[in-house]
Amino acid sequence: MPKRQGFTRVLAIIGTVLLWLPVILVVVLTVGGVPKEVGWLPFSAVGAMDMFPVVVLGGGVLLWAALRARSHRKVLGLSLAAPVGSIVFGVVWSQPVPTGVWVLLVTMALIVLYWIGLLIAAVSGISLVRSLSSRPSI
């Protein structure tokens, strides 16, 4: 395996693990329950949004690997734009805290958009790692 492909595979693995980390933590802490002494960690479907810096870091590393591999660039770019856009739009949009039914609907739509983008990017990361592992070395 050439040196370049090995580094790209390591980048893809690190990025994929970082993208799956918020998903796995939300599932484990929601299903398993959060201990009472950890009062600062109320996990729910919004819990992955609290780990947004991990998603940005993992997405950036995974996108770097995709650019190096010249594979999965479009799907990763578009799927990572969804969580970033939903966080940015949600933060900007809610700056004086509005109330009402429309606020609830827009907030729920942003949470769903975040999760869809995160899951598509994480699954694409697995696909990128598999395609890098199956490529013959030249």
> What pLDDT band is residue 93 in, cutting at 50, 70 and 90?
low
Q: Is the model's pLDDT at 13 over the cut of 70? A: yes
Q: Do 84 and 39 form a contact (C-beta atoms < 8 A)?
A: no
pLDDT for 15-30, tens place per residue? Answer: 999 999 988 888 777 7
Q: Report the predicted TM-score, pTM, of the whole model to 2 decimal places.
A: 0.78
The whole-chain average pLDDT of the chain stands at 79
How many domains does one find in the chain?
1
Q: Domain range holding 73?
A: 3-134
pLDDT, mean of residues 106-132: 88
Residue 3: count other Cβ atoms within 10 Å of its Cβ. Answer: 7
Q: Is the model's pLDDT at 137 over the cut of 60? A: no
**54: its two tokens:** 């991990």
Separation CA 61–CA 80 (nearest Å): 12
Contacts of 74 (CB under 8 A, 6+ apart): none
pLDDT of residue 134: 74
